[in-house]
Chains A and B, each alone.
Chain A
Amino acid sequence: MAHRETLLASTFLTLADTLVDDFDVVEVLTTLCGRCVDLLGTSASGILLADSRGALHVMAASGEQANLLELFQIQNEEGPCLDSFRSGRAVMHNDLGTESPWPRFAPAARRAGFNAVHAFPMVVRSNVVGTLNLFMEDPRPLQPADIDVAQALAHAATLTVLQNRATEDSHRLTAQLQGALDSRIAIEQAKGVVSELGQVGTDEAFTWLRSFARSRNRKLTDVATAVVDRTLETAERTELLRAGRGRGRSRADATQPDPQLS
């Protein structure tokens, strides 16, 4: 498993870099979700953060599919992520086909093609601020080594949120969480704008926004805010849409390695 160790080391190295460089919290967490899939062999993963009222919100996911996002949303009422958030413990369910404590979540997850789900708490001191969630097609348990890696990645995700420079004016936990959540909402709004301008799905719009931000070396949240505000220059907006379309013609992007991490 030498390959995995290399990948793990590079993942943490990248995250360590974010502690000194200016970075975008949604971008880094999205990358981290992608890495969970690679490292743990899961089908999908996502990170949820709680707002000041304790409601869970999607911060990042390995894919932006509507069914995956919907599964996270259900969890404001029930589900493994909510249970993990409330208890502060890992919640692992190896086979959703068998009896589960979640009458709404379990069938929805199975309809989306997921048969096992695992949630790991993101903890700051004694506060649970969110969860890292792994979805698997095969109904099977995580190996002990996988569990350690997953919990380490959850810790890394927590550190990333806390290091978010966007809320530099305050180092308070609530302020940092609120800032991260607002970043995510701005990105959802920008996905809508780009999706309408480019007449593509919102998942594709996210890919366009992300690759544009990377190619210009700009923060994803800043690009999203400029798109929503209409303060992105016309030339830049044209470039964002044109580059997106170009990508669409030769797309294999979902499986390409992250330029930032390789």
Chain B
Amino acid sequence: MTADRDRWVPIMMLIAAPDGAELTGSGLCAASAELLGVDGAAIALMTGKGVPVATYRSDPAFQPIEDLQLVLGVGPCLDAYRERRPVVEADLATGSTLRWPGLAPLALDAGIRSISAFPLRIGAARFGALTAYDSRPGALEGSRLDDALALSAIVTRTLVAMQLDGAAGDLVPGLSRASLVGDNLPPARLPSGEIDHAEVHQASGMVSVQLGIDVGDALARLRARAFADGTTVREVAAEVVARRLRFDP
């Protein structure tokens, strides 16, 4: 468990930075790649219809392959987003040309043999995809796959928090550098973020109807309101569910 825990420390340190100053998209990608033991990672944020709005990567070298996927609309990254499930291309050197035309040659030229993409989602709300690139063939399997899935959930919640104020500390209450450096908080036992409550998801659904927007954007509006009012997302959500608060377009 100790070795396991140690691998999570760098990314958790990054996310828990008190002022959020150290938390950048590329930093998050680099820490993700390190955790997963791959050469590089990228994060693409998309709108409800799959249009990319922001992309980050651990290394500029991955930009062309990421752009190609997003511009052509083909590749594991887009499929993971659309299908809401992990999509793995274990070896681009064998037989993937039909599945993703144009992708394999460019990837191989860039020294990429395998790509694993994971949806960034909270329930039915989609935010984008986390993609791992590696120069070695092979799918992320076993405990590395477990790590990737846990990482996707954490990255999603971190990005939702960053949308507003750049500080993700409130995402995992009680999490601080002190508690990470100490011995008593293995990463598998981090407390739940405040957005992970039933009424927050219910309120997101209600606000998405009130404003005619995507449920992911509705969650951002709830967070923005909580921030502006100096209260918590849970409290705002409870007001919405009780129909004491409406959002008007």
Tell me, yes or no, whether A binds B: yes
Which residues does A use to contact B, with CB under 8 Å? 51-58, 66, 69, 73, 76, 167, 169-170, 172-175, 178, 182-197, 202, 224-225, 228-229
Q: Which of A55, A66, A189 contacts B192 (CB 8 A)?
A: A55
Q: Are B201 and A53 in contact (CB under 8 A)?
A: no
In the bound complex, do residue B149 and residue A190 qualify as a contact, i.e. CB atoms below 8 Å apart?
A: no
CA distance A197 to B142 in the complex (A): 43
The answer to whether A193 touches B153 (Cβ under 8 A) is no
Given known A53-B192, A188-B201, A195-B205, contact A182–B146 (CB-CB < 8 A): no
Complex CA distance for A196 and B202, rounded to whole angstroms: 10
Query: A52 to B145, alpha carbons, bound, how many Å?
Result: 12
Q: Can you show 24 pairs from A to B with CB atoms below 8 A apart?
A: A51-B153, A52-B150, A53-B150, A53-B188, A55-B190, A55-B192, A57-B196, A69-B199, A172-B142, A172-B146, A173-B146, A175-B146, A182-B84, A188-B201, A188-B205, A189-B124, A189-B201, A189-B205, A192-B205, A192-B209, A195-B202, A196-B206, A228-B205, A228-B208
- Closest approach, in angstroms, between the C-beta of B106 and any C-beta of chain A? 25
Interface residue B54 (Cβ < 8 Å from any Cβ of A)? no
**Least distance between B220 CB and chain A CB atoms (Å):** 14
Q: Nearest CB to that of B85 among chain A residues?
A: A169
Contact of A189 among B125, B172, B189, B197 (CB under 8 A): B125
Select one of A51, A54, A191, A229 contacting B202, CB under 8 A. Answer: A191
A54-B205 contact given A170-B86, A202-B241, CB 8 Å threshold: no
CA gap between A229 and B204 in the complex, in Å: 13
| B 83-105 to A, binary, CB cutoff 8 A, 1 in contact else 0 | 01110000000000000000000
Q: Which residue of A lies closest to B151 (CB)?
A: A52
When the two chains form their complex, are residues A54 and B188 in contact, meaning their CB atoms are under 8 A apart?
Answer: yes
- Distance between Cα atoms of A170 and B205 in the complex (Å): 29
Q: Which residue of A lies closest to B205 (CB)?
A: A192
Q: Is the CB of B215 within 8 A of A54?
A: no
In the assembled complex, the CB of B26 is this many whole angstroms from the nearest CB of chain A, namely 24
Per the bound structure, the CA–CA distance linking A9 and B85 in Å amounts to 35
Name the A residues within 8 Å of B199 (CB-CB). 66, 69
B40 to chain A, nearest CB (A): 23
Beta-carbon nearest neighbor of B157 in chain A = A53
